Chains A and B, each alone.
Chain A
Protein backbone atom coordinates (compact mmCIF):
# COMPACT_ATOMS: atom_id res chain seq x y z
CA UNK A 1 0.00 0.00 0.00
CA UNK A 2 3.01 2.27 0.41
CA UNK A 3 2.94 3.21 -3.27
CA UNK A 4 -0.64 4.37 -3.19
CA UNK A 5 -0.90 8.10 -2.97
CA UNK A 6 -3.36 8.79 -0.24
CA UNK A 7 -6.01 11.45 -0.42
CA UNK A 8 -3.68 14.20 0.63
CA UNK A 9 -0.14 13.08 -0.09
CA UNK A 10 -0.43 13.14 -3.91
CA UNK A 11 3.15 13.55 -5.08
CA UNK A 12 2.03 13.46 -8.71
CA UNK A 13 0.41 16.27 -10.59
CA UNK A 14 -2.25 16.15 -13.27
CA UNK A 15 0.17 16.96 -16.05
CA UNK A 16 2.30 13.90 -15.34
CA UNK A 17 2.05 11.23 -18.01
CA UNK A 18 -1.06 9.07 -17.88
CA UNK A 19 1.00 5.90 -17.76
CA UNK A 20 3.07 7.20 -14.89
CA UNK A 21 -0.01 8.14 -12.97
CA UNK A 22 -1.56 4.73 -13.57
CA UNK A 23 1.62 3.00 -12.38
CA UNK A 24 1.89 5.24 -9.34
CA UNK A 25 -1.70 4.45 -8.42
CA UNK A 26 -1.55 0.75 -9.24
CA UNK A 27 -2.36 -0.29 -5.67
CA UNK A 28 -5.60 1.73 -5.77
CA UNK A 29 -6.98 -0.42 -8.55
CA UNK A 30 -6.85 -3.46 -6.29
CA UNK A 31 -9.78 -2.02 -4.34
CA UNK A 32 -12.03 -1.62 -7.37
CA UNK A 33 -10.87 -4.75 -9.12
CA UNK A 34 -13.41 -7.20 -7.67
CA UNK A 35 -16.27 -4.86 -8.52
CA UNK A 36 -14.87 -4.25 -12.00
CA UNK A 37 -14.38 -7.92 -12.75
CA UNK A 38 -17.96 -8.73 -11.79
CA UNK A 39 -19.31 -5.80 -13.77
CA UNK A 40 -17.19 -6.62 -16.82
CA UNK A 41 -18.26 -10.23 -16.88
CA UNK A 42 -21.92 -9.53 -16.41
CA UNK A 43 -22.21 -6.26 -18.34
CA UNK A 44 -19.43 -5.63 -20.83
CA UNK A 45 -19.55 -9.14 -22.19
CA UNK A 46 -23.34 -9.21 -22.73
CA UNK A 47 -23.27 -5.82 -24.44
CA UNK A 48 -20.51 -6.88 -26.81
CA UNK A 49 -22.29 -10.18 -27.40
CA UNK A 50 -25.59 -8.47 -28.17
CA UNK A 51 -24.06 -6.00 -30.62
CA UNK A 52 -22.21 -8.84 -32.35
CA UNK A 53 -25.27 -11.08 -32.55
CA UNK A 54 -27.42 -8.32 -34.01
CA UNK A 55 -25.61 -8.74 -37.36
CA UNK A 56 -26.28 -12.46 -37.63
CA UNK A 57 -29.10 -14.79 -38.46
CA UNK A 58 -29.07 -17.42 -35.76
CA UNK A 59 -30.61 -20.86 -35.52
CA UNK A 60 -33.24 -21.47 -32.87
CA UNK A 61 -30.93 -23.91 -31.13
CA UNK A 62 -28.61 -21.05 -30.16
CA UNK A 63 -25.66 -23.03 -31.52
CA UNK A 64 -23.44 -20.10 -32.39
CA UNK A 65 -21.29 -21.85 -34.99
CA UNK A 66 -24.32 -22.25 -37.25
CA UNK A 67 -25.03 -18.53 -37.53
CA UNK A 68 -24.73 -16.54 -40.76
CA UNK A 69 -23.70 -12.93 -41.20
CA UNK A 70 -26.54 -10.77 -42.54
CA UNK A 71 -25.23 -7.22 -42.01
CA UNK A 72 -27.89 -4.62 -41.25
CA UNK A 73 -30.75 -6.86 -42.30
CA UNK A 74 -32.06 -7.42 -38.78
CA UNK A 75 -32.28 -3.67 -38.24
CA UNK A 76 -34.06 -3.28 -41.56
CA UNK A 77 -36.55 -5.97 -40.61
CA UNK A 78 -37.32 -4.25 -37.32
CA UNK A 79 -37.73 -0.74 -38.67
CA UNK A 80 -39.96 -1.82 -41.56
CA UNK A 81 -42.22 -4.12 -39.54
CA UNK A 82 -45.62 -2.56 -38.87
CA UNK A 83 -45.52 -3.98 -35.33
CA UNK A 84 -42.49 -1.82 -34.56
CA UNK A 85 -44.44 1.42 -34.57
CA UNK A 86 -47.38 0.14 -32.57
CA UNK A 87 -45.04 -1.38 -29.98
CA UNK A 88 -43.06 1.87 -29.87
CA UNK A 89 -46.27 3.85 -29.39
CA UNK A 90 -47.31 1.52 -26.56
CA UNK A 91 -43.88 1.86 -24.97
CA UNK A 92 -44.15 5.63 -25.12
CA UNK A 93 -47.65 5.69 -23.64
CA UNK A 94 -46.64 3.21 -20.96
CA UNK A 95 -43.45 5.05 -19.98
CA UNK A 96 -44.78 8.59 -20.14
CA UNK A 97 -48.15 7.93 -18.49
CA UNK A 98 -46.69 5.78 -15.70
CA UNK A 99 -43.95 8.31 -15.00
CA UNK A 100 -46.24 11.32 -15.16
CA UNK A 101 -48.92 9.99 -12.82
CA UNK A 102 -46.51 8.31 -10.42
CA UNK A 103 -44.61 11.57 -10.13
CA UNK A 104 -47.76 13.66 -9.74
CA UNK A 105 -49.27 11.41 -7.04
CA UNK A 106 -45.87 11.23 -5.34
CA UNK A 107 -45.60 15.03 -5.34
CA UNK A 108 -49.08 15.51 -3.85
CA UNK A 109 -48.38 12.83 -1.23
CA UNK A 110 -45.02 14.37 -0.34
CA UNK A 111 -46.53 17.84 0.05
CA UNK A 112 -49.40 16.49 2.15
CA UNK A 113 -47.04 14.48 4.35
CA UNK A 114 -44.46 17.21 4.78
CA UNK A 115 -46.10 18.68 7.89
CA UNK A 116 -45.76 16.71 11.12
CA UNK A 117 -48.98 15.02 12.33
CA UNK A 118 -49.96 11.98 14.37
CA UNK A 119 -49.65 8.78 12.36
CA UNK A 120 -47.48 10.35 9.66
CA UNK A 121 -44.71 7.75 9.95
CA UNK A 122 -47.22 4.88 9.84
CA UNK A 123 -48.93 6.34 6.80
CA UNK A 124 -45.63 6.78 4.98
CA UNK A 125 -44.69 3.18 5.74
CA UNK A 126 -48.01 1.81 4.44
CA UNK A 127 -47.73 3.85 1.25
CA UNK A 128 -44.28 2.40 0.61
CA UNK A 129 -45.32 -1.26 0.87
CA UNK A 130 -46.35 -1.62 -2.81
CA UNK A 131 -42.90 -0.38 -3.78
CA UNK A 132 -41.22 -2.97 -1.57
CA UNK A 133 -43.12 -6.12 -2.46
CA UNK A 134 -42.28 -8.18 -5.51
CA UNK A 135 -43.71 -7.19 -8.89
CA UNK A 136 -44.82 -10.81 -9.18
CA UNK A 137 -46.97 -10.42 -6.07
CA UNK A 138 -48.36 -7.12 -7.37
CA UNK A 139 -49.14 -8.64 -10.77
CA UNK A 140 -51.13 -11.54 -9.34
CA UNK A 141 -52.89 -9.32 -6.83
CA UNK A 142 -54.07 -6.96 -9.57
CA UNK A 143 -54.91 -9.79 -11.91
CA UNK A 144 -57.30 -10.98 -9.25
CA UNK A 145 -58.72 -7.47 -8.72
CA UNK A 146 -59.29 -7.15 -12.49
CA UNK A 147 -60.64 -10.69 -12.87
CA UNK A 148 -63.35 -10.71 -15.54
CA UNK A 149 -65.86 -12.78 -13.53
CA UNK A 150 -64.98 -12.48 -9.87
CA UNK A 151 -62.84 -9.34 -9.82
CA UNK A 152 -63.71 -6.83 -7.15
CA UNK A 153 -63.24 -3.81 -9.45
CA UNK A 154 -65.73 -5.12 -11.99
CA UNK A 155 -68.20 -5.98 -9.22
CA UNK A 156 -67.91 -2.50 -7.72
CA UNK A 157 -68.43 -0.79 -11.04
CA UNK A 158 -71.68 -2.75 -11.47
CA UNK A 159 -72.78 -2.15 -7.88
CA UNK A 160 -72.19 1.60 -8.19
CA UNK A 161 -73.93 1.67 -11.54
CA UNK A 162 -71.01 2.63 -13.77
CA UNK A 163 -71.45 -0.38 -16.02
CA UNK A 164 -74.12 -3.03 -16.60
CA UNK A 165 -71.76 -5.95 -16.36
CA UNK A 166 -68.18 -6.40 -15.15
CA UNK A 167 -65.57 -5.00 -17.53
CA UNK A 168 -63.07 -7.45 -18.93
CA UNK A 169 -60.14 -5.15 -18.20
CA UNK A 170 -57.21 -7.26 -19.35
CA UNK A 171 -58.81 -8.86 -22.43
CA UNK A 172 -60.02 -5.67 -24.06
CA UNK A 173 -57.71 -3.85 -26.47
CA UNK A 174 -58.86 -0.47 -25.16
CA UNK A 175 -58.50 -1.14 -21.44
CA UNK A 176 -55.52 -3.51 -21.24
CA UNK A 177 -52.70 -0.94 -21.41
CA UNK A 178 -54.38 1.64 -19.11
CA UNK A 179 -55.11 -1.14 -16.60
CA UNK A 180 -51.45 -2.10 -16.52
CA UNK A 181 -50.43 1.53 -16.13
CA UNK A 182 -52.63 1.77 -13.02
CA UNK A 183 -50.75 -1.19 -11.52
CA UNK A 184 -47.46 0.47 -12.34
CA UNK A 185 -48.54 3.73 -10.72
CA UNK A 186 -49.67 1.78 -7.65
CA UNK A 187 -46.22 0.26 -7.36
CA UNK A 188 -44.16 3.35 -8.07
CA UNK A 189 -45.75 6.54 -6.81
CA UNK A 190 -44.33 6.10 -3.30
CA UNK A 191 -40.82 6.07 -4.76
CA UNK A 192 -41.44 9.57 -6.11
CA UNK A 193 -43.03 10.47 -2.77
CA UNK A 194 -39.97 9.45 -0.78
CA UNK A 195 -37.57 11.25 -3.09
CA UNK A 196 -39.63 14.44 -3.02
CA UNK A 197 -40.10 14.27 0.77
CA UNK A 198 -36.33 14.24 1.08
CA UNK A 199 -36.18 17.12 -1.38
CA UNK A 200 -38.72 19.13 0.63
CA UNK A 201 -36.44 18.98 3.65
CA UNK A 202 -33.93 21.10 1.78
CA UNK A 203 -36.40 23.97 1.41
CA UNK A 204 -35.43 26.59 4.01
CA UNK A 205 -38.32 27.16 6.40
CA UNK A 206 -37.40 30.85 6.84
CA UNK A 207 -37.73 31.47 3.13
CA UNK A 208 -41.29 30.15 3.14
CA UNK A 209 -42.14 32.24 6.18
CA UNK A 210 -40.60 35.33 4.63
CA UNK A 211 -42.66 34.78 1.49
CA UNK A 212 -45.78 34.43 3.64
CA UNK A 213 -45.01 37.69 5.44
CA UNK A 214 -44.60 39.34 2.07
CA UNK A 215 -48.13 38.24 1.22
CA UNK A 216 -47.47 35.31 -1.10
CA UNK A 217 -50.36 32.84 -1.17
CA UNK A 218 -49.91 29.08 -0.88
CA UNK A 219 -49.61 28.57 -4.61
CA UNK A 220 -47.08 31.40 -5.02
CA UNK A 221 -45.03 30.05 -2.13
CA UNK A 222 -45.00 26.62 -3.73
CA UNK A 223 -44.13 27.85 -7.19
CA UNK A 224 -41.53 30.47 -6.28
CA UNK A 225 -39.92 28.99 -3.16
CA UNK A 226 -40.54 25.24 -2.93
CA UNK A 227 -40.50 24.25 -6.60
CA UNK A 228 -37.04 25.67 -7.41
CA UNK A 229 -35.58 23.66 -4.53
CA UNK A 230 -37.20 20.49 -5.85
CA UNK A 231 -35.87 20.89 -9.36
CA UNK A 232 -32.77 18.72 -8.97
CA UNK A 233 -34.41 15.88 -7.13
CA UNK A 234 -37.37 15.95 -9.52
CA UNK A 235 -35.05 15.52 -12.49
CA UNK A 236 -33.38 12.49 -10.95
CA UNK A 237 -36.74 11.02 -9.89
CA UNK A 238 -38.34 11.42 -13.30
CA UNK A 239 -35.31 9.92 -15.04
CA UNK A 240 -35.17 6.94 -12.67
CA UNK A 241 -38.91 6.37 -13.10
CA UNK A 242 -38.57 6.55 -16.88
CA UNK A 243 -35.72 4.07 -16.90
CA UNK A 244 -37.60 1.72 -14.56
CA UNK A 245 -40.77 1.93 -16.67
CA UNK A 246 -38.95 1.51 -19.93
CA UNK A 247 -37.35 -1.62 -18.52
CA UNK A 248 -40.27 -3.05 -16.59
CA UNK A 249 -41.14 -6.49 -17.75
CA UNK A 250 -42.85 -8.48 -15.02
CA UNK A 251 -46.15 -6.59 -14.82
CA UNK A 252 -47.00 -6.67 -18.55
CA UNK A 253 -45.53 -10.16 -19.00
CA UNK A 254 -47.41 -11.81 -16.16
CA UNK A 255 -50.65 -9.86 -16.48
CA UNK A 256 -51.35 -9.78 -20.21
CA UNK A 257 -48.24 -11.13 -21.93
CA UNK A 258 -48.47 -8.14 -24.26
CA UNK A 259 -51.96 -9.02 -25.40
CA UNK A 260 -54.71 -8.91 -26.41
CA UNK A 261 -53.57 -8.63 -30.03
CA UNK A 262 -50.45 -6.71 -28.97
CA UNK A 263 -52.47 -3.97 -27.30
CA UNK A 264 -50.19 -3.92 -24.26
CA UNK A 265 -47.01 -5.08 -25.97
CA UNK A 266 -44.05 -2.86 -25.12
CA UNK A 267 -40.45 -3.13 -26.30
CA UNK A 268 -39.32 -5.36 -23.49
CA UNK A 269 -42.13 -7.89 -23.80
CA UNK A 270 -41.76 -7.76 -27.57
CA UNK A 271 -38.03 -8.51 -27.38
CA UNK A 272 -38.70 -11.34 -24.98
CA UNK A 273 -41.28 -12.78 -27.37
CA UNK A 274 -38.91 -12.58 -30.34
CA UNK A 275 -36.08 -14.17 -28.36
CA UNK A 276 -37.79 -16.83 -26.30
CA UNK A 277 -41.04 -17.27 -28.22
CA UNK A 278 -39.88 -17.14 -31.85
CA UNK A 279 -36.26 -17.94 -30.88
CA UNK A 280 -34.99 -15.40 -33.37
CA UNK A 281 -31.94 -14.40 -31.36
CA UNK A 282 -30.32 -12.16 -33.97
CA UNK A 283 -33.44 -10.08 -34.41
CA UNK A 284 -33.92 -9.82 -30.65
CA UNK A 285 -30.31 -8.67 -30.32
CA UNK A 286 -30.81 -5.94 -32.91
CA UNK A 287 -33.89 -4.80 -31.02
CA UNK A 288 -31.84 -4.77 -27.84
CA UNK A 289 -29.18 -2.60 -29.45
CA UNK A 290 -31.80 -0.03 -30.42
CA UNK A 291 -32.99 -0.11 -26.82
CA UNK A 292 -29.41 0.30 -25.56
CA UNK A 293 -29.07 3.45 -27.59
CA UNK A 294 -32.25 4.91 -26.13
CA UNK A 295 -31.12 3.95 -22.64
CA UNK A 296 -27.70 5.49 -23.16
CA UNK A 297 -29.39 8.78 -24.00
CA UNK A 298 -31.42 8.60 -20.80
CA UNK A 299 -28.27 7.52 -18.96
CA UNK A 300 -26.45 10.60 -20.19
CA UNK A 301 -29.09 12.85 -18.65
CA UNK A 302 -29.06 10.75 -15.47
CA UNK A 303 -25.32 11.25 -14.98
CA UNK A 304 -25.73 14.94 -15.79
CA UNK A 305 -28.44 15.28 -13.16
CA UNK A 306 -26.42 13.38 -10.56
CA UNK A 307 -23.22 15.34 -11.07
CA UNK A 308 -24.70 18.83 -11.19
CA UNK A 309 -22.77 21.04 -8.79
CA UNK A 310 -19.82 18.65 -8.87
CA UNK A 311 -18.08 20.61 -11.57
CA UNK A 312 -15.96 22.74 -9.27
CA UNK A 313 -14.81 19.78 -7.22
CA UNK A 314 -11.08 19.12 -7.68
CA UNK A 315 -10.26 15.84 -9.31
Chain B
Protein backbone atom coordinates (compact mmCIF):
# COMPACT_ATOMS: atom_id res chain seq x y z
CA UNK B 1 0.00 0.00 0.00
CA UNK B 2 1.36 3.39 -0.91
CA UNK B 3 1.62 6.27 1.51
CA UNK B 4 -1.06 8.08 -0.39
CA UNK B 5 -3.73 5.48 0.49
CA UNK B 6 -2.66 5.54 4.12
CA UNK B 7 -3.15 9.28 4.00
CA UNK B 8 -6.80 8.85 3.04
CA UNK B 9 -7.27 6.22 5.68
CA UNK B 10 -5.81 8.51 8.35
CA UNK B 11 -8.07 11.32 7.21
CA UNK B 12 -10.98 8.93 7.67
CA UNK B 13 -9.88 8.07 11.19
CA UNK B 14 -9.43 11.69 12.19
CA UNK B 15 -12.87 12.44 10.79
CA UNK B 16 -14.41 9.57 12.74
CA UNK B 17 -12.87 10.83 15.98
CA UNK B 18 -14.24 14.33 15.33
CA UNK B 19 -17.71 13.12 14.43
CA UNK B 20 -17.73 10.84 17.47
CA UNK B 21 -16.91 13.84 19.68
CA UNK B 22 -19.64 15.89 18.00
CA UNK B 23 -22.16 13.13 18.67
CA UNK B 24 -21.09 11.90 22.08
CA UNK B 25 -19.94 15.02 23.96
CA UNK B 26 -23.44 16.55 24.11
CA UNK B 27 -24.86 13.26 25.36
CA UNK B 28 -22.05 12.91 27.90
CA UNK B 29 -22.79 16.42 29.10
CA UNK B 30 -26.43 15.46 29.58
CA UNK B 31 -25.34 12.56 31.80
CA UNK B 32 -22.81 14.64 33.74
CA UNK B 33 -25.39 17.36 34.36
CA UNK B 34 -27.96 14.85 35.50
CA UNK B 35 -25.75 13.70 38.39
CA UNK B 36 -25.15 17.22 39.68
CA UNK B 37 -27.13 19.15 42.21
CA UNK B 38 -29.02 22.16 40.88
CA UNK B 39 -26.51 24.42 42.62
CA UNK B 40 -23.51 22.65 41.09
CA UNK B 41 -24.99 22.84 37.59
CA UNK B 42 -25.49 26.61 37.75
CA UNK B 43 -21.91 27.71 38.12
CA UNK B 44 -19.64 29.72 35.94
CA UNK B 45 -17.18 28.46 34.83
CA UNK B 46 -18.92 25.09 34.84
CA UNK B 47 -17.82 22.16 36.96
CA UNK B 48 -16.48 19.94 34.20
CA UNK B 49 -16.71 16.94 36.46
CA UNK B 50 -19.32 16.85 39.22
CA UNK B 51 -17.56 17.54 42.54
CA UNK B 52 -20.24 15.71 44.49
CA UNK B 53 -22.02 13.33 42.12
CA UNK B 54 -25.54 12.48 43.20
CA UNK B 55 -28.29 10.18 41.95
CA UNK B 56 -30.89 12.34 43.67
CA UNK B 57 -32.43 13.52 40.35
CA UNK B 58 -33.03 9.96 39.26
CA UNK B 59 -34.40 8.70 42.57
CA UNK B 60 -36.79 11.66 42.62
CA UNK B 61 -38.14 10.86 39.14
CA UNK B 62 -38.46 7.14 39.75
CA UNK B 63 -39.97 7.32 43.23
CA UNK B 64 -43.73 6.73 43.03
CA UNK B 65 -44.28 8.17 46.51
CA UNK B 66 -43.46 11.79 45.65
CA UNK B 67 -45.58 13.88 43.25
CA UNK B 68 -42.83 14.43 40.65
CA UNK B 69 -42.01 10.73 40.47
CA UNK B 70 -45.65 9.74 40.39
CA UNK B 71 -46.30 12.02 37.40
CA UNK B 72 -43.15 10.94 35.61
CA UNK B 73 -43.88 7.23 35.95
CA UNK B 74 -47.44 7.89 34.84
CA UNK B 75 -46.19 9.68 31.66
CA UNK B 76 -43.83 6.82 30.99
CA UNK B 77 -46.65 4.29 31.29
CA UNK B 78 -48.87 6.39 28.99
CA UNK B 79 -46.10 6.62 26.39
CA UNK B 80 -45.55 2.89 26.59
CA UNK B 81 -49.24 2.10 26.26
CA UNK B 82 -49.81 4.44 23.30
CA UNK B 83 -46.67 3.30 21.50
CA UNK B 84 -47.45 -0.39 21.94
CA UNK B 85 -51.06 -0.02 20.78
CA UNK B 86 -49.88 1.97 17.74
CA UNK B 87 -47.33 -0.70 16.87
CA UNK B 88 -49.69 -3.67 17.19
CA UNK B 89 -52.53 -2.03 15.27
CA UNK B 90 -50.08 -0.80 12.65
CA UNK B 91 -48.86 -4.31 11.93
CA UNK B 92 -52.42 -5.63 11.79
CA UNK B 93 -53.38 -3.04 9.17
CA UNK B 94 -50.13 -2.95 7.20
CA UNK B 95 -49.64 -6.70 6.69
CA UNK B 96 -52.73 -7.37 4.56
CA UNK B 97 -52.31 -4.13 2.63
CA UNK B 98 -48.65 -4.81 1.85
CA UNK B 99 -49.48 -8.37 0.86
CA UNK B 100 -52.15 -7.16 -1.53
CA UNK B 101 -49.87 -4.51 -3.07
CA UNK B 102 -47.23 -7.16 -3.58
CA UNK B 103 -49.37 -10.03 -4.90
CA UNK B 104 -52.50 -8.71 -6.52
CA UNK B 105 -52.87 -6.64 -9.65
CA UNK B 106 -56.07 -4.74 -9.00
CA UNK B 107 -56.83 -1.54 -10.89
CA UNK B 108 -55.56 1.57 -9.15
CA UNK B 109 -52.93 -0.41 -7.26
CA UNK B 110 -50.02 1.85 -8.21
CA UNK B 111 -52.00 5.00 -7.58
CA UNK B 112 -53.18 3.83 -4.15
CA UNK B 113 -49.72 2.67 -3.22
CA UNK B 114 -48.16 6.05 -3.89
CA UNK B 115 -51.06 7.88 -2.32
CA UNK B 116 -50.21 5.98 0.86
CA UNK B 117 -46.50 6.76 0.54
CA UNK B 118 -47.15 10.48 0.14
CA UNK B 119 -48.39 10.69 3.71
CA UNK B 120 -44.84 11.32 4.83
CA UNK B 121 -44.67 14.45 2.71
CA UNK B 122 -47.01 16.39 4.95
CA UNK B 123 -45.96 18.14 8.13
CA UNK B 124 -47.73 17.27 11.35
CA UNK B 125 -48.48 20.90 12.17
CA UNK B 126 -50.54 21.44 9.04
CA UNK B 127 -52.83 18.54 9.91
CA UNK B 128 -53.14 19.58 13.51
CA UNK B 129 -56.19 21.79 13.21
CA UNK B 130 -58.32 19.64 10.85
CA UNK B 131 -57.48 16.54 12.85
CA UNK B 132 -58.36 18.31 16.06
CA UNK B 133 -61.80 19.13 14.64
CA UNK B 134 -62.14 15.58 13.35
CA UNK B 135 -61.22 14.11 16.72
CA UNK B 136 -63.63 16.46 18.43
CA UNK B 137 -66.33 15.20 16.07
CA UNK B 138 -65.40 11.58 16.75
CA UNK B 139 -65.41 12.34 20.47
CA UNK B 140 -61.79 11.29 20.79
CA UNK B 141 -60.22 14.54 22.00
CA UNK B 142 -58.65 13.98 25.39
CA UNK B 143 -58.29 10.24 24.86
CA UNK B 144 -55.31 8.14 23.93
CA UNK B 145 -57.39 6.80 21.04
CA UNK B 146 -56.89 10.08 19.15
CA UNK B 147 -53.12 9.69 19.36
CA UNK B 148 -53.13 6.01 18.44
CA UNK B 149 -55.26 6.67 15.35
CA UNK B 150 -53.02 9.54 14.27
CA UNK B 151 -49.73 7.72 14.91
CA UNK B 152 -51.04 4.74 13.00
CA UNK B 153 -50.96 6.79 9.82
CA UNK B 154 -47.40 8.01 10.42
CA UNK B 155 -46.18 4.44 10.53
CA UNK B 156 -48.37 2.93 7.82
CA UNK B 157 -46.66 4.22 4.67
CA UNK B 158 -43.25 3.01 5.76
CA UNK B 159 -44.63 -0.27 7.09
CA UNK B 160 -46.50 -1.01 3.89
CA UNK B 161 -43.55 -0.05 1.74
CA UNK B 162 -41.17 -2.23 3.74
CA UNK B 163 -43.42 -5.25 4.04
CA UNK B 164 -44.22 -5.08 0.34
CA UNK B 165 -40.49 -5.36 -0.31
CA UNK B 166 -40.39 -8.48 1.85
CA UNK B 167 -43.36 -10.09 0.16
CA UNK B 168 -41.92 -9.29 -3.26
CA UNK B 169 -38.92 -11.41 -2.30
CA UNK B 170 -40.90 -14.42 -1.09
CA UNK B 171 -41.37 -16.72 -4.10
CA UNK B 172 -44.99 -17.13 -5.15
CA UNK B 173 -44.21 -20.79 -5.84
CA UNK B 174 -44.08 -21.46 -2.09
CA UNK B 175 -47.70 -20.41 -1.74
CA UNK B 176 -48.72 -22.22 -4.88
CA UNK B 177 -47.18 -25.43 -3.56
CA UNK B 178 -49.18 -25.04 -0.36
CA UNK B 179 -52.35 -24.37 -2.35
CA UNK B 180 -51.81 -27.55 -4.36
CA UNK B 181 -51.42 -29.41 -1.08
CA UNK B 182 -54.90 -28.25 -0.16
CA UNK B 183 -54.27 -25.07 1.85
CA UNK B 184 -56.65 -22.15 1.34
CA UNK B 185 -55.23 -18.84 0.25
CA UNK B 186 -55.50 -17.59 3.82
CA UNK B 187 -53.81 -20.67 5.27
CA UNK B 188 -51.00 -20.35 2.75
CA UNK B 189 -50.58 -16.74 3.79
CA UNK B 190 -50.66 -17.50 7.50
CA UNK B 191 -48.44 -20.58 7.48
CA UNK B 192 -45.98 -19.81 4.69
CA UNK B 193 -45.76 -16.06 4.16
CA UNK B 194 -46.21 -14.77 7.70
CA UNK B 195 -43.32 -16.70 9.28
CA UNK B 196 -41.00 -15.58 6.48
CA UNK B 197 -41.92 -11.96 6.98
CA UNK B 198 -41.08 -11.80 10.68
CA UNK B 199 -37.93 -9.72 10.05
CA UNK B 200 -40.04 -7.23 8.10
CA UNK B 201 -42.62 -7.07 10.86
CA UNK B 202 -39.91 -6.49 13.45
CA UNK B 203 -38.38 -3.76 11.32
CA UNK B 204 -41.66 -1.93 10.91
CA UNK B 205 -42.62 -2.43 14.55
CA UNK B 206 -39.48 -0.81 15.92
CA UNK B 207 -40.09 2.17 13.65
CA UNK B 208 -43.71 2.59 14.68
CA UNK B 209 -42.82 2.26 18.33
CA UNK B 210 -40.00 4.80 18.29
CA UNK B 211 -42.07 7.21 16.22
CA UNK B 212 -44.98 7.03 18.64
CA UNK B 213 -42.74 7.25 21.70
CA UNK B 214 -41.06 10.42 20.47
CA UNK B 215 -44.07 12.27 19.06
CA UNK B 216 -44.79 15.63 20.58
CA UNK B 217 -47.01 17.88 18.43
CA UNK B 218 -50.24 15.88 18.45
CA UNK B 219 -49.81 14.73 22.02
CA UNK B 220 -49.49 18.37 23.09
CA UNK B 221 -52.70 19.32 21.26
CA UNK B 222 -55.03 16.35 21.71
CA UNK B 223 -54.48 15.59 25.39
CA UNK B 224 -55.53 17.89 28.14
CA UNK B 225 -55.66 16.03 31.45
CA UNK B 226 -52.41 15.91 33.38
CA UNK B 227 -52.62 12.17 34.06
CA UNK B 228 -52.97 11.39 30.33
CA UNK B 229 -49.84 13.08 29.06
CA UNK B 230 -47.11 11.17 27.27
CA UNK B 231 -43.45 11.71 28.12
CA UNK B 232 -42.42 14.40 25.60
CA UNK B 233 -45.32 16.64 26.62
CA UNK B 234 -44.99 15.73 30.29
CA UNK B 235 -41.34 16.73 30.26
CA UNK B 236 -42.16 20.02 28.58
CA UNK B 237 -44.78 20.83 31.26
CA UNK B 238 -42.34 19.75 33.94
CA UNK B 239 -39.75 22.12 32.57
CA UNK B 240 -42.22 24.98 32.34
CA UNK B 241 -42.82 24.53 36.06
CA UNK B 242 -39.25 24.04 37.25
CA UNK B 243 -37.50 26.28 34.74
CA UNK B 244 -34.10 26.21 36.40
CA UNK B 245 -33.91 22.56 37.34
CA UNK B 246 -31.54 21.63 34.52
CA UNK B 247 -30.14 18.54 36.25
CA UNK B 248 -33.67 17.23 36.81
CA UNK B 249 -34.55 17.96 33.18
CA UNK B 250 -31.43 16.23 31.92
CA UNK B 251 -32.19 13.19 34.09
CA UNK B 252 -35.75 13.14 32.71
CA UNK B 253 -34.62 13.40 29.07
CA UNK B 254 -32.09 10.66 29.74
CA UNK B 255 -34.74 8.36 31.20
CA UNK B 256 -37.05 9.17 28.31
CA UNK B 257 -34.34 8.18 25.83
CA UNK B 258 -33.35 4.91 27.51
CA UNK B 259 -36.21 2.71 26.22
CA UNK B 260 -35.86 3.74 22.57
CA UNK B 261 -32.07 3.53 22.65
CA UNK B 262 -32.21 0.04 24.19
CA UNK B 263 -34.83 -1.03 21.65
CA UNK B 264 -32.70 0.40 18.87
CA UNK B 265 -29.52 -1.33 20.10
CA UNK B 266 -31.24 -4.71 20.44
CA UNK B 267 -33.00 -4.56 17.08
CA UNK B 268 -30.38 -2.48 15.28
CA UNK B 269 -30.17 -4.82 12.31
CA UNK B 270 -33.88 -4.46 11.59
CA UNK B 271 -33.82 -0.74 12.23
CA UNK B 272 -31.09 -0.20 9.66
CA UNK B 273 -32.86 -2.47 7.23
CA UNK B 274 -36.09 -0.53 7.67
CA UNK B 275 -34.30 2.74 6.97
CA UNK B 276 -32.50 1.65 3.86
CA UNK B 277 -35.00 -0.76 2.32
CA UNK B 278 -36.32 0.44 -0.97
CA UNK B 279 -33.85 3.26 -1.34
CA UNK B 280 -31.01 0.88 -2.17
CA UNK B 281 -31.40 -1.54 -5.00
CA UNK B 282 -28.60 -4.01 -5.49
Contact = CB atoms under 8 A, between A and B. Distances in A.
B23 A108 contact: no
Contacts of B217: 249-250
Interface in A105-152: 105, 108-109, 111-113, 115, 123, 125-130, 132-137, 140-142, 144-145, 147, 149-150, 152
Interface residues of A, number: 108
Interface residues of B, number: 101
Contacts of B100: 28-29, 31-32
Contacts of B93: 34-35, 38
Contact of B264 (A7, A39, A128, A201): A128
Contact of A141 (B30, B232, B278): B30
Contacts of A217: 4
Contacts of B239: 140
A284 B129 contact: yes
Contacts of B26: 141-142, 145, 186
A32 B23 contact: no
Interface in B93-137: 93-94, 96-97, 99-101, 103-108, 110, 112, 114-131, 133-134
Contacts of A209: none
A126 B22 CA distance: 11
A133 to B, nearest CB: 4
Contact of B122 (A133, A135, A247, A271): A247
Interface in A187-216: 189-191, 194-195, 198-199, 201-202
Contacts of A4: 104, 185
Contacts of A189: 19
Nearest to A37: B93
A298 B123 CA distance: 13
A38 B156 contact: yes
Contacts of A315: 105, 110
Given A202-B280, A315-B110, A145 B257 contact: no
A46 B149 CA distance: 14
Contacts of B197: none
Contact of B276 (A28, A149, A195): A195
A35 B97 contact: yes
B129 A281 contact: yes
Interface string B144-162: 0000011011001000100
B45 interface: yes
Contact of A129 (B23, B106, B214): B23
A146 to B, nearest CB: 10
A223 B23 CA distance: 28
A217 B1 CA distance: 12
14 contacts: A35-B116, A42-B150, A46-B130, A112-B13, A112-B16, A135-B214, A141-B250, A145-B29, A191-B275, A202-B282, A240-B279, A296-B121, A298-B121, A299-B118
Interface of A: 1, 4-8, 10, 18, 21-22, 25, 28-32, 34-36, 38-39, 41-43, 45-47, 49-50, 53, 62, 64, 105, 108-109, 111-113, 115, 123, 125-130, 132-137, 140-142, 144-145, 147, 149-150, 152, 155, 158-159, 166, 186, 189-191, 194-195, 198-199, 201-202, 217-218, 232-233, 236-237, 240, 243, 246-247, 249-250, 254, 268, 271-272, 275-276, 281, 284-285, 288, 291-292, 295-296, 298-299, 302-303, 306, 309, 315
Given A35-B94, A140-B235, A247-B125, 9 more contacts: A36-B116, A134-B214, A136-B235, A155-B46, A159-B45, A198-B272, A272-B125, A295-B122, A299-B118
